[in-house]
Amino acid sequence: MVILGIDPGLARTGYGFVRKNKDKSFSLIEFGCITTPSELRFSQRLFSVYQQTRELFKTRHPDKIAIESLYFAKNTKTAFKVGQVRGVILLASYLEKVKIEEFTPLEVKMALTGYGRASKSQVQQMVKKFLGLKEIPKPDDAADALAVAIVCGQTLSFSKPCV
């Protein structure tokens, strides 16, 4: 099963494709970031995220999408914009008829490290370990997306309802 993990953001949306193998291990397929130039209008940036997300679906054909849920941030203006980015990604997923799972940052940290307040570096070390990598994936947004994909793969047997 191919799982696409997504860490939504306006300037950079991290993505990571993993394969859940029959022996329940994980293999890295690809990771990176969808970027949008800051000089574009907000609506153009949203459309760019939408188009690039659809392109990812067409090139890798994921069986499932795992996306990080929003958490309440101190900067509500940023939270609203990231929420809109999530919206275009969810729309693209829906139009491709790919099942979507959502995970909070707390759920991701708990599932990978056993501790809900784990640091970013602790989560990244676990991503490296799960995927058998020599180095932590960079940038952080891509590593976070891979973490969400792994958690989705771990929870497939107790799957939550899809959006």
| Cis bond upstream, residue 105 (ω within 30) | no
Q: Do residues 136 and 125 make contact, with C-beta atoms less than 8 angstroms apart? A: yes
**Residue 144, in any domain of the structure:** yes
Q: Could you confirm whether 140 is annotated as catalytic?
A: no
> Could you give the CA distance from residue 71 to residue 73 in angstroms, rounded to a whole number?
6
What's the confidence (pLDDT) of residue 162?
A: 46
**Residue 28, in any domain of the structure:** yes
Tell me the pLDDT tens digit for each residue of 120-140. 999 999 999 999 999 999 999
Number of domains in the chain: 1
Q: Could you confirm whether 23 is annotated as catalytic?
A: no
Domain that holds residue 104: 2-158
**Residue 131, in any domain of the structure:** yes
Which residues are bridge partners to 64 per DSSP?
Answer: 3, 99
Tell me the pLDDT tens digit for each residue of 111-122. 999 999 999 999
What's the confidence (pLDDT) of residue 6?
A: 98
Q: Could you confirm whether 7 is annotated as catalytic?
A: yes
**Residue 116, in any domain of the structure:** yes
What's the confidence (pLDDT) of residue 73?
A: 60
**Residue 85, in any domain of the structure:** yes
> Which residue out of 101, 102, 141, 144 is catalytically annotated?
141
What's the confidence (pLDDT) of residue 161?
A: 46
Tell me the pLDDT tens digit for each residue of 10-23. 999 999 999 999 99
> Which residue out of 68, 101, 102, 144 is catalytically annotated?
68
Res 157 pLDDT > 70: no
The three-state (H, E, C) secondary structure of 48-102, written as one string: HHHHHHHHHHHHHCCCEEEEECCCCCCCHHHHHHHHHHHHHHHHHHHHCCCEEEE
Instruction: Write the CB contacts of 124 (distance below 8 Å, at least 6 apart in sequence).
Output: 136, 137, 140, 143, 147
**Residue 163, in any domain of the structure:** no
* Max intra-chain CA distance, the chain: 46
**Residue 54, in any domain of the structure:** yes
Tell me the pLDDT tens digit for each residue of 51-85. 999 999 999 999 999 999 977 666 788 889 999 99
> Could you give the CA distance from residue 6 to residue 15 in angstroms, rounded to a whole number?
5
From residue 147, give the alpha-carbon distance in Å to each of 17, 44, 78, 91: 10, 28, 22, 22
CATH number at residue 14: 3.30.420.10
What's the confidence (pLDDT) of residue 141?
A: 96
Mean pLDDT for the chain overall: 92
What's the confidence (pLDDT) of residue 129?
A: 97
Q: Tell me, yes or no, if the pTM score tops 0.85.
A: yes
Tell me the pLDDT tens digit for each residue of 87-99. 999 999 999 999 9
**Residue 43, in any domain of the structure:** yes
> Which residue out of 7, 101, 102, 144 is catalytically annotated?
7
What's the confidence (pLDDT) of residue 78?
A: 83
Percent pLDDT > 70 in the chain is: 93
